[in-house]
Amino acid sequence: MFDLKVDSKLPHHYMITVAAHPLTSKDFGKMYLKHGPLYFTNDDMEDLRSALILSSDKLFKTSQQQALKNFNCTPLVSSIRGMNLASQANLCTMHHFSSPVELEDEWFVTLVTLANVSEHNKELLEKSRVG
Please write the tens of the pLDDT for every residue from 1-36. Answer: 456 777 789 999 999 999 999 999 898 999 999 998
Which pLDDT score, from 0 to 100, does residue 56 have?
85
Task: Report how far residue 126's alpha carbon sits from residue 123's, in angstroms, rounded to the nearest whole number.
Answer: 5
Which pLDDT score, from 0 to 100, does residue 6 have?
75
Q: Are 32 and 112 in contact (CB under 8 A)?
A: yes
Mean pLDDT is lowest, of 26-30, 59-63, 119-123, 124-128, for: 59-63
Question: Residue 57's pLDDT band (boundaries 50, 70, 90)?
Answer: confident
State how far the alpha carbon of 100 is from the alpha carbons of 1, 3, 10, 118, in Å: 24, 19, 4, 23
DSSP codes joined into one string, 79-114: HHHHHHHHHHHTT-EEEEEEESS---HHHHHHHHHH
